[in-house]
Each structure stands twice: as structure tokens, then as C-alpha cells.
A = this chain, B = another copy of it.
Amino acid sequence: MYGAGDVRVETIADPTIQHATDAIVRVVRACVCGSDLHPYHNMPAQEHGQQMGHEFLGIVEQAGADVTTVKPGDLVVASFSYQDNTCEFCRAGVQTACVHGGFFSAAQAELIRVPLADGTLVKLPAEVDEKLLPSLLTLADVYGTGYHAAKCANVSAGDTVAVIGDGAVGLLAVLSARQLGAERIILMGRHKTRTDLGREFGATDVIAERGAEGIAIVRDLTGGGAHKVLEAVGHRPAYDQAVGIVRAGGVISRVGVPQYEQAPVGFASLFGRNITLNGGPAPVRAYIDALLPGILNGTVDPGQVFDRTVTLDEVPDAYRAMDNREVLKALIRF
């Protein structure tokens, strides 16, 4: 990416092992993330492009001398963060705060260097049906991120859950809330093809209205608000909507990356009604082991969030199409 709206496909030098804990992975599937659209809107034009992408699965091409859990030829999926998975924060399930960790930013490519391969890559069954690859790729970010929203909110049997946002993360927050036993799942979104998929994933109600009108409808529907609100947008109006629809004593769990810093947290918004605010960058590595079996045995099909498949050469158009909302999420097939 060279700036807002300017994505190019270029040939650059292959990545190489830098540390004995690195691996090189040949990418089999990658994708474009809703969060990639922020720089696609805002990035100042620059002379040197920056690589993009943080979601991938592929075949290990080369493993550093200290890598013990994967070897060349293994099919693997990575979390969008890399981490040692052994430090205090990783053990506490906050892998995105790993003391040695960081975030991928070069996965829309044929080859990628993976730091801390043992803590980052998860080996997949070798003979997995190719049809499952899209769903397995969602473990890299969007499924784990939707699941993080539901876990942070402690979604439990009988809960009324409201999900704000019908992007891939919002839809997979719906799926996750259903998996965790929510009784009623209200999806707030206004793109019918997306909210239809949300219904397939478990949404019991769809509310297209936003702002004061949307708040009034949800409060009426729930008799005073939802127990758990999963915010998968990241803009301030979505935060305000979350505050408006959460029930006293409830939780607002955010996984949409906030595009704001200040927001109301005082007596009138959070404090007076004992509202909990939590969430953050999802430690998806922590969830892969739990979520993988459901994909392999066909219980869930989170890969339905991909509604277009492109080649590497078509990636610039995939950005354009996602930005125009023609496409929910684009899969890159190598």
C-alpha cells in the first residue's frame, strides 16, 4: 500500500530466517481484513509501499534451528499476533500483550517470515478437505476476535446479547455467542446479505436502525437493554449505541479497534448502572485449540464470511470492492 486507495502487487525479495525461532511459511490462503480498510482510507501517500495483511495459513517452507513444534511441509495457521506463548501475559491468556510479541503486517504475500514460530503457528491436519480452508483461515483473526468479544462479555446460557456491526467480526461474534449459549442474539446491522448470514449464524433479531432510534428499539425489545453488548465496529457512534442498549449490571465488550480515544464513562454512562467495559485486540492464539474441532467436524462454518475469492493480482480490486461494501470479506487464493 502506497497510500489511501493505492494498493499494488509487486515482486520483492523473499523473506529469510532471521532468528532460530523463526519459520518461513508459503501462504496458501490469506485475506483482506476490515481493519486494512482504515489505512486504505487514511494513509498518506508515500514513496515506499508497506506490506499488508495479518491473516494467513500455509505450508511451512523452512524452520529455524530452535523451532520444535512444526517442520517443513506442515500445514499451519497463524494468529494475527505472534507471541512466545510462554510469558506471563501469554499464560494469562493475553497473547496480544506478549513481552516478545508483535503483529503481522505482510501476510498478503506468497511467503512470510513468522517470528516465534512455536508460539504462533498451529499445525493443522495434513489431509484436511480443501473446502475447510476458508473456515480454518478465520482462526487467524475474525473468528477468534468474534469469540473474544463473547468470552470477554462472559456470554452464558440464557443471556440476551446484542452485537453491533455486521462485518465479519460482528457476524462471528453472533456465531460465538450462540456457541456460548446465548438465548437471544440481536444483530444491529443494515446490510441484508450480511444480516441474513447473521441469522444463519444464530441471530434471533436484526435491527437496522442506529443511534437514538436503534437504542429505543433494542431497549423496548429487551425490556431495558441487553445483558451483553459485543461492539464490533470501532467508531464512537457504536460505543454510544453500546452504552445506550446495555442493561444495568451488564457488559460492553469491544473488539472493533477504537477510532477514538475519549468517550463517556461517568455516572450517566457506565458507572451509575455498574456497567463493565472490556475487550481489546483478541488473543486469538488462546482460542484456536478450542475453536478448531468445531470447524473440522463441521459443527460451524465461519468461512461463510468470505464472499469473494481473488488471486494475488486481484488484491487491489478486492480492497476496492470491500471498501465499496460490494464484498464482505475477500479470500486470497495462491
Interfacial residues, chain A to chain B (CB-CB below 8 A): 89, 92-94, 96-97, 152, 239, 248-249, 254, 257-258, 260-281, 283
Contacts and interface: CB of A to CB of B under 8 A. Distances in A.
Contacts of A249: 89, 92-94, 97
B265 A258 contact: yes
Contacts of A257: 267, 271
A281 B276 contact: no
Nearest to A259: B266
Contacts of A273: 94, 97, 280
A93 B254 CA distance: 24
A85 to B, nearest CB: 15
B254 A271 contact: yes
A264 B267 contact: no
Copies of this chain per assembly: 2
Given A248-B89, A248-B94, A274 B267 contact: no
A257 B276 CA distance: 15
Nearest to A278: B276
A147 B279 CA distance: 24
A7 to B, nearest CB: 24
A214 B18 CA distance: 40
A327 B193 CA distance: 65
Nearest to A268: B261
Contacts of A258: 265-267, 271
Nearest to A89: B248
A267 B92 CA distance: 20
Contacts of A92: 249
Given A89-B249, A249-B89, A249-B92, A274 B264 contact: no
Contacts of A239: 265
A33 to B, nearest CB: 16
> Could you say which of A89, A263, A271, A283 has the most chain B C-beta atoms within 10 Å of its C-beta?
A271
A96 B265 CA distance: 18
Contact of A265 (B152, B274, B275, B277): B277
Given A89-B248, A275-B278, A277-B277, 14 more contacts: A258-B266, A260-B266, A261-B265, A261-B266, A261-B268, A262-B263, A263-B263, A271-B279, A271-B280, A272-B281, A273-B280, A274-B280, A276-B278, A277-B278
Contacts of A96: 274
A320 B270 CA distance: 32
B260 A263 contact: no
